[in-house]
């Protein structure tokens, strides 16, 4: 693990959390020491893999024992419009002898096997804890393999014990900056070329927003890394601007591309109607400021008007069902306030939201939207969550899979809004999907049945209630 | 007789195997009020937890010592100690089940020594069982880690020496290829003979998907501490699956409880052996209800054999699951077309085929070409799609179907259920093929009337 890279990532000036710190605080870095016995969340390797796995046409080879890939492969719903190679799990599956003698040779041969069999345009090799600990030189092996096979073999140096998932996102970004971005030239360029950074096309979300950009006349030249081809990313430095989708994940890519290629970037969100419109508007403005013809602004405004109108019309029927329902929203970062706004538009009352991953700016925004009564939880323990739900403080909880069963066991409706979900919530259609799903869940007749005690359990509940 | 052959390659493609600590965690999850703890980096726990959550559709208590680069190099004692104290304070579990990982084993952390030291330094943990299992990721597979955890529980928690023997108290050591539903079915069968059966671990109490009255951050049920302490007093131990031989024999050594290892409990003959054993141990007649169940299975075999005869089945599974299903398929008249497993293990050589491959799902996909049915975990879905062959999901993980915990494939009734499910799948794919081609499915094996029957039904 290169400590220089780590320092750089920790002191990322583009990071909103860092901006709020003074120089000495920044120097300390952002590895929050994890508490043994009370830690949750993925490791740096996990984060790197999440960020890059959606690149569809390369071999993603994990150098480590079986745990790292065997326990985790093919477990997200990043979708592809073409190559399916990214869903194939590759690992060196290190054994005891590899641990004792080192596994560089094994890795070198594994790369050769994968290339011989699958002929990918590139191989991404992920470092994990054990080879990092025993000193396997990932970079040297990748360099030798690149020379031998005449195609890029790229080291992703983010072993799990380096830190959190978020750090892994950033280290993956560093690897792209160092080895991929700017190494090829695009076939065509237009003044309307925009890159998306930090959009993974989970459940096909990219495909819900891409047509919106296209309708306005904006070309998504590359997406890092949803539904991406290696070549798109290698040549994405010729686009005119970057949009940073999930601000926490790969801000380093956007900022360094600005430094290197003079490409401006903005942070935006696809969640919520207002946010989606802002994003389209900002994209157009940024492209125009980079020399795209002015009429882009008008076209964009027209798309926004049409789509917003259409979305509101589709949402209207749900309002009477959802108005007044109380929501507990447990999610990270930027999604909090974007979703809050959308739910409020439906007349729902957000009784609390988590702000664990949110920046100060996010929090200010939540306060602005939700007002003084906003409950912001830094850390809501499952026990506390359970108590809130059983006290019927919320009609529905929206969260990630981790807390799914806290809600369901308390017999409270729940909806997945994190990465494992099966429905796409991005864009105008996505918000309609989300609201429709909330309605389906809330209006499901099972809630009444499962909450009733069995007939022989003569609890205090009067029969009249049913 | 089968030769067990290693796929000699450097790059594993589409892993079939999962690692030892995860198997260890599953065993600990079958103990009441327990918290499994991985001594490794936080990712080890996160991946394992996600996998088990998606399979069982339940909260999975699983913690981490959160090792980082520096603490790994310096040794993990402090992290382990802090993790145990934190878990004790926050969650007060009856048992903390520690699984080492590849990371801490590579460093060479002395788990046993650490546990002694923690015990000495922290008398406040006196009421908490601390069990340490060595489960490096770079060795063995899921079922080995599971067995290692079971042995560690016995070693740590069952008092040495013969207990006061209790008649009709039986121990069950169910292999990790058995579901919570399987374990429950076995216990119910024992109850028919008036036997009380303690399962170690007992997933039927913890991961059977019930709704508890209160939130609990630890396992929702399972083998109790008291029951574990009593394992040495049992009349007999029945272990299911060759990988449970180690724990069964350990219990025999420590406490003198005789044991029988049944390699499998799927299929008529293995069920007969099990029921006969229960009759012998209990001194009771086989009850009418069980005779009736047996008769139903026999009838199901008569009805179902048409659809298995000559069918080519490809199976990829951990050794003992492969053994159970492979023999059953062969006994129903199917041909074992390909078999892939995760490590060489006793019993594999007995499978009625030429070769068992220790390999991955890419090997499986290659060898399974031409099969009528694929049998493996949910990760086989890509191979099934590419080959255009139906997939019957077994083992862990099954993340794209509901009810994995409740599938029962042991005992007369479970075997019957399995038989019907498989036969229906074979039947359906034949129907589909027949319709797709607009004429009856081609019959390669002309003296096989079953196929002709299929095409017309």
Residue A374 pLDDT > 70: no
**Contact status, residue B27 vs residue B176, Cβ threshold 8 Å:** yes
| Contact flag B138-A66 (C-beta cutoff 8 Å) | yes
Q: What does the pLDDT look like over B60-108, one tens digit per residue?
A: 999 999 999 999 999 999 999 999 999 999 999 999 999 999 999 999 9
| Selected residues 365-384 of chain B with any CB under 8 Å from a CB in chain A | 379, 382
Distance from CA of A400 to the nearest CA of B (A): 11
Query: Does B33 touch chain A if contact means CB atoms closer than 8 Å?
Result: no
Q: Identify the pLDDT of residue B153.
A: 98
Distance from CA of A340 to the nearest CA of B (A): 26
Neighbour order of strands in the sheet with A123-127: A153-156, A123-127, A59-63, A90-91, B12-13
Task: Output the CA torsion sign for A137, A139, A144, A150.
Answer: positive
Query: Does B211 touch chain A if contact means CB atoms closer than 8 Å?
Result: yes
Q: What is the mean pLDDT of residues A372-388?
A: 78
In a domain, B116, yes or no: yes
In a domain, B41, yes or no: yes
Distance from CA of A23 to the nearest CA of B (A): 25
Domain with A49 in it = 31-179
Of A96, A110, A162, the CB nearest to B11: A110
8-state DSSP, B124: G
In a domain, B163, yes or no: no
In a domain, B420, yes or no: yes
Which chain A residue has the Cα nearest residue B19?
A67
pLDDT band at B434 (very low <50, low <70, confident <90, very high): low
Question: Of the residues A179, A209, A232, which one is the last residue of a structural domain?
Answer: A179
In a domain, A450, yes or no: no
How many helices (H) and strands (E) would you count in chain B? 18, 15
Task: Give the whole-angstrom CA distance, residue A171 versus residue A165.
Answer: 10
Neighbour order of strands in the sheet with B236-240: B196-199, B169-174, B236-240, B259-262
* Percent of chain A whose predicted confidence (pLDDT) is above 90: 67
Query: Does B17 touch chain A if contact means CB atoms closer than 8 Å?
Result: yes
B chain contacts of residue A89, beta-carbon cutoff 8 Å: 12-15, 379
Residue B313 pLDDT > 90: yes
CB neighbour burial string for B151-187, b if at least 16 within 10 angstroms, e if fewer? bbbbbbbbeeeebeeeebbbbbbbbbbbbbbbbbbbb
Q: Are A346 and A398 within one domain?
A: yes
Q: Are A50 and A146 within one domain?
A: yes
In a domain, A459, yes or no: no
Strand partners, B12: A91
Q: Are A291 and A351 within one domain?
A: no
B chain contacts of residue A382, beta-carbon cutoff 8 Å: 59, 215, 217
Distance from CA of B211 to the nearest CA of A (A): 6
How many domains does chain B divide into? 3
Tokens of B205: 């109490």
Query: Does B51 touch chain A if contact means CB atoms closer than 8 Å?
Result: yes
Of A37, A45, A46, the CB nearest to B82: A37
pLDDT band at A18 (very low <50, low <70, confident <90, very high): low
| Contact flag A383-B59 (C-beta cutoff 8 Å) | no
Neighbour order of strands in the sheet with B355-358: B3-6, B355-358, B335-341, B312-316, B373-376, B391-393
| Contact flag B379-A1 (C-beta cutoff 8 Å) | no
Query: Does B399 touch chain A if contact means CB atoms closer than 8 Å?
Result: yes
Listed range (A26-30, B170-174, B268-272, B350-354) with the worst mean pLDDT: A26-30
Of A89, A98, A130, the CB nearest to B14: A89
| Contact flag B41-A43 (C-beta cutoff 8 Å) | yes
Question: Of the residues A146, A179, A212, which one is the last residue of a structural domain?
Answer: A179
Q: Are B266 and B376 within one domain?
A: no
B chain contacts of residue A401, beta-carbon cutoff 8 Å: 50, 53-54
Which chain B residue has the Cα nearest residue A163?
B68
Q: Identify the pLDDT of residue B316.
A: 98
- Taking only Cα atoms into account, the Rg of chain A, rounded to an integer number of angstroms, comes to 24
Question: Of the residues B243, B263, B289, which one is the last residue of a structural domain?
Answer: B289
Query: Does B257 touch chain A if contact means CB atoms closer than 8 Å?
Result: no
Q: Identify the pLDDT of residue A117.
A: 97
Residue B197 pLDDT > 70: yes
Q: Are A170 and A270 within one domain?
A: no
Of A110, A134, A387, the CB nearest to B106: A134
Question: Of the residues B289, B315, B344, which one is the last residue of a structural domain?
Answer: B289
Which is higher by pLDDT, A109 or A363? A109
Q: Identify the pLDDT of residue B445.
A: 44
Query: Does B344 touch chain A if contact means CB atoms closer than 8 Å?
Result: no
Q: Are B34 and B77 within one domain?
A: yes
| DSSP H helical ranges for A217-359 | 230-234, 251-261, 273-289, 295-322, 335-345
Which chain B residue has the Cα nearest residue A382?
B217
Distance from CA of A35 to the nearest CA of B (A): 7
* β-bridge pairing B169-174 and B236-240: parallel
| Contact flag B86-A36 (C-beta cutoff 8 Å) | yes
Q: Identify the pLDDT of residue B429.
A: 85
Q: Identify the pLDDT of residue A343.
A: 84
Which is higher by pLDDT, A341 or A451? A451
Q: Are A386 and A300 within one domain?
A: no
Task: Give the whole-angstrom CA distance, residue A6 versus residue B305.
Answer: 63
Q: Are B357 and B386 within one domain?
A: yes
| Contact flag B11-A61 (C-beta cutoff 8 Å) | yes
**Alpha-carbon separation of residue B104 from A125, B95, B365 (angstroms):** 23, 21, 34
| Contact flag B82-A35 (C-beta cutoff 8 Å) | yes
Question: Of the residues B157, B189, B224, which one is the last residue of a structural domain?
Answer: B157
Q: Identify the pLDDT of residue A282.
A: 97
How many helices (H) and strands (E) would you count in chain A? 21, 13
Q: Identify the pLDDT of residue A338.
A: 67
Task: Give the whole-angstrom CA distance, residue B146 versus residue B133.
Answer: 9
Q: Identify the pLDDT of residue A29.
A: 55
Write out the H or E segment, with its range, that includes residue A434.
helix A427-442
Distance from CA of B357 to the nearest CA of A (A): 16
Listed range (A173-182, A456-465, B130-139) with the worst mean pLDDT: A456-465
Which chain B residue has the Cα nearest residue A102?
B106
Q: Identify the pLDDT of residue B303.
A: 97
Predicted ipTM of the assembly: 0.93
The torsion region of residue B241 among left (phi > 0), alpha (psi -120 to 50) and beta comes to: left
Q: What does the pLDDT look like over A268-308, one tens digit per residue?
A: 889 888 889 999 999 999 999 999 999 999 999 999 999 99
8-state DSSP, B165: -
Q: What does the pLDDT look like over A384-435, one tens digit per residue?
A: 888 888 887 899 998 877 788 989 999 999 998 876 677 888 999 999 999 9
In a domain, A315, yes or no: no
Domain with B338 in it = 293-456
**Alpha-carbon separation of residue A372 from A345, A348, A351 (angstroms):** 18, 16, 11
In a domain, B11, yes or no: no
Strand partners, A164: A43
**DSSP notation for A185-228:** --S---TTEEEEEEE--BTT-HHHHHHHHHHHT-EEEEEEETTB
Task: Give the whole-angstrom CA distance, residue B402 versus residue B325.
Answer: 21
Q: Are B326 and B427 within one domain?
A: yes
| Contact flag B66-A36 (C-beta cutoff 8 Å) | yes
Q: Are A216 and A247 within one domain?
A: yes
CB neighbour burial string for B77-93, b if at least 16 within 10 angstroms, e if fewer? bebbbbbbbbbbeebeb
Listed range (A123-127, A388-392, B326-330, B407-411) with the worst mean pLDDT: A388-392
Distance from CA of A33 to the nearest CA of B (A): 9
Query: Does B215 touch chain A if contact means CB atoms closer than 8 Å?
Result: yes
In a domain, B224, yes or no: yes
**Contact status, residue A73 vs residue A103, Cβ threshold 8 Å:** no
Task: Give the whole-angstrom CA distance, residue A464 versus residue B405.
Answer: 37
Query: Does B79 touch chain A if contact means CB atoms closer than 8 Å?
Result: yes
pLDDT band at B441 (very low <50, low <70, confident <90, very high): very low
Listed range (A3-12, B48-57, B385-394) with the worst mean pLDDT: A3-12
How many domains does chain A divide into? 3
Task: Give the whole-angstrom CA distance, residue B6 versus residue B11.
Answer: 13
A chain contacts of residue B122, beta-carbon cutoff 8 Å: none
ω before A225 within 30° of 0 (cis)? yes
Q: What does the pLDDT look like over A214-235, one tens digit per residue?
A: 999 999 999 999 999 999 999 9
| Contact flag A161-B67 (C-beta cutoff 8 Å) | yes
Q: Identify the pLDDT of residue A19.
A: 67
Q: Are A237 and A327 within one domain?
A: no
Which chain B residue has the Cα nearest residue A90?
B13
| Contact flag B15-A91 (C-beta cutoff 8 Å) | yes
- Domain CATH for A417: 3.40.50.1980
Which chain B residue has the Cα nearest residue A128?
B103
Q: Are A163 and A197 within one domain?
A: no
| Contact flag B12-A90 (C-beta cutoff 8 Å) | yes
Tokens of B269: 């003959």
In a domain, A119, yes or no: yes
Distance from CA of B54 to the nearest CA of A (A): 9
| Contact flag A130-B68 (C-beta cutoff 8 Å) | no
pLDDT band at A22 (very low <50, low <70, confident <90, very high): low
Alpha-carbon dihedral of residues A28, A29, A32, A36, nearest 10 degrees?
Answer: -80
Q: Are B110 and B235 within one domain?
A: no
Listed range (A143-157, A356-370, B231-245) with the worst mean pLDDT: A356-370
Q: Are B135 and B239 within one domain?
A: no
Size of interface A-B (CB pairs under 8 A): 219
- Domain CATH for B83: 3.40.50.1980
Question: Is residue A295 classed exposed, middle or buried when 0-12, 13-18 and 19+ CB atoms within 10 A define those classes?
Answer: exposed
Residue A249 pLDDT > 50: yes
Q: What is the mean pLDDT of residues A128-152?
A: 97
Q: What does the pLDDT look like over A312-335, one tens digit per residue?
A: 999 999 999 999 999 988 876 555
In a domain, A70, yes or no: yes
CB neighbour burial string for B342-381, b if at least 16 within 10 angstroms, e if fewer? bbebebbeebebeebbbbbbbbbbbbbeebbbbbbbbbbb
A chain contacts of residue B41, beta-carbon cutoff 8 Å: 43, 129, 160-161
B chain contacts of residue A106, beta-carbon cutoff 8 Å: 10
């Amino acid at each position: 693990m290169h400590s220089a890279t780590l320092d750089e990532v920790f002191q990322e000036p583009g990071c909103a959390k860092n901006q709020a710190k003074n120089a000495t605080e920044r120097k300390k870095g952002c590895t929050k020491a994890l508490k043994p016995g009370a830690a949750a969340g993925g490791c740096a390797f996990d984060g790197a893999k999440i960020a890059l796995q959606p690149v569809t046409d390369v071999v993603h080879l994990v150098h480590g024992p079986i745990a790292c890939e065997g326990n985790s492969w093919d477990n997200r719903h990043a979708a592809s419009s073409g190559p399916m190679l990214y869903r194939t799990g590759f690992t060196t599956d290190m054994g005891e002898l590899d641990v004792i003698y080192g596994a560089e040779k094994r890795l070198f041969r594994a790369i050769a096997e994968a290339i011989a069999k699958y002929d990918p345009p590139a191989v991404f090799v992920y470092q994990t804890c054990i080879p990092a600990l025993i000193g396997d030189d990932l970079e040297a092996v990748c360099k030798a393999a690149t020379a031998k096979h005449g195609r890029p073999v790229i080291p992703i140096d983010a072993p799990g014990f380096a830190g959190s998932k978020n750090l892994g996102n950033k280290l993956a970004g560093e690897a792209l900056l160092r080895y991929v971005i700017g190494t090829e030239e695009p076939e065509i360029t237009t003044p309307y070329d925009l890159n998306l950074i930090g959009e993974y096309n989970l459940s096909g979300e990219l495909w819900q927003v891409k047509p919106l950009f296209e309708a306005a006349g904006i070309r998504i030249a590359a997406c890092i890394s949803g539904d991406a081809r290696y070549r798109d990313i290698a040549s994405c430095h010729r686009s005119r601007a970057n949009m940073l989708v999930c601000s926490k994940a790969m801000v380093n890519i956007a900022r360094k591309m600005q430094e290197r290629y003079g490409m401006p970037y903005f942070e935006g969100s696809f969640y919520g109607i207002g946010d989606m419109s802002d994003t389209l508007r900002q994209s157009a403005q940024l492209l125009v400021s980079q020399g795209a013809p002015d009429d882009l602004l008008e076209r964009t405004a027209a798309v926004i008007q049409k789509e917003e109108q259409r979305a509101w019309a589709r949402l209207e029927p749900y309002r009477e069902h959802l108005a007044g329902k109380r929501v507990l929203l447990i999610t990270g970062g930027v999604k909090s306030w974007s979703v809050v706004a959308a739910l409020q538009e439906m007349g729902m009352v957000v009784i609390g939201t988590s702000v664990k991953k949110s920046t100060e700016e996010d929090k200010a925004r939540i306060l602005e939207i939700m007002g003084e009564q906003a409950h912001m939880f830094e850390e809501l323990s499952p026990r506390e969550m359970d108590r809130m739900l059983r006290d019927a403080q919320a009609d529905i909880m929206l969260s990630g899979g981790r807390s799914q069963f806290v809600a369901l066991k308390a017999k409270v409706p729940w909806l997945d809004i994190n990465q494992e979900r099966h429905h796409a919530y991005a864009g105008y259609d996505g918000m309609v999907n989300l609201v429709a799903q909330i309605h389906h869940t809330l209006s499901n007749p099972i809630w009444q049945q499962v909450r009733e005690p069995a007939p022989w359990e003569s609890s205090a509940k009067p029969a009249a209630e049913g | 007789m089968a030769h067990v052959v290693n796929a000699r390659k450097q790059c594993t493609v589409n892993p079939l195997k999962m690692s030892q600590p995860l198997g260890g965690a599953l065993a600990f999850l079958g103990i009441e009020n327990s918290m499994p703890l991985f001594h490794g980096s936080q990712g080890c726990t996160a991946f394992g937890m996600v996998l088990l959550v998606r399979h069982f559709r339940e909260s999975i208590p699983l913690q981490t010592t959160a090792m980082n680069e520096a603490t790994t190099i310096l040794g993990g004692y402090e992290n382990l100690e802090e993790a145990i104290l934190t878990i004790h304070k926050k969650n007060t579990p009856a048992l903390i089940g520690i699984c080492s990982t590849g990371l801490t084993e590579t460093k060479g952390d002395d788990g046993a020594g650490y546990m002694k030291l923690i015990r000495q330094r922290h008398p406040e943990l006196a009421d908490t069982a601390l069990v340490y299992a060595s489960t490096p990721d770079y060795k063995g597979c899921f079922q080995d880690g599971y067995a290692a955890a079971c042995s560690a529980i016995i070693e740590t928690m069952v008092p040495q020496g013969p207990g006061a023997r209790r008649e009709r108290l039986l121990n069950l050591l169910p292999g990790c290829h058995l579901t919570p539903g399987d374990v429950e079915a076995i216990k119910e069968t024992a109850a028919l003979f008036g036997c009380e059966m303690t399962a170690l671990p007992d997933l039927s109490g913890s991961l059977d998907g019930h709704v508890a009255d209160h939130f609990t951050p630890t396992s929702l049920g399972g083998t109790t501490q008291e029951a574990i302490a009593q394992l040495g007093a049992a009349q007999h131990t029945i272990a299911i699956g060759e990988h449970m031989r180690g724990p069964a024999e350990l219990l025999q050594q420590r406490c003198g409880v005789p044991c029988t290892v049944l390699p499998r409990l799927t299929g008529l003959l293995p069920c007969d052996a099990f029921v006969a054993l229960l009759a012998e141990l209990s001194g009771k007649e086989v009850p009418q209800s069980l005779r009736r169940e047996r008769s139903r299975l026999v009838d199901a075999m008569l009805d179902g054999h048409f659809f298995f005869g000559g069918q080519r089945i490809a199976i990829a599974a951990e050794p003992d699951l492969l053994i159970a299903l492979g023999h059953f398929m062969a006994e129903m008249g199917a041909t074992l077309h390909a078999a892939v497993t995760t490590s060489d293990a006793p019993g594999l050589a007995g499978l009625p085929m030429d070769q068992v491959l220790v390999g991955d799902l890419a090997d499986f996909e290659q060898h399974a070409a031409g099969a009528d049915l694929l049998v493996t975990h949910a990760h086989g879905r890509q191979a099934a799609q590419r080959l255009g062959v139906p997939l019957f999901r077994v083992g862990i993980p099954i993340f794209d179907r509901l009810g994995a915990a409740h599938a029962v494939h042991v005992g007369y009734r479970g075997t019957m259920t399995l038989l019907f499910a498989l036969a229906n799948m074979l039947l359906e794919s034949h129907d589909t093929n027949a319709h797709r081609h607009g004429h009856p499915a081609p019959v390669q094996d002309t003296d096989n009337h079953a196929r002709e029957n299929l095409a017309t039904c």
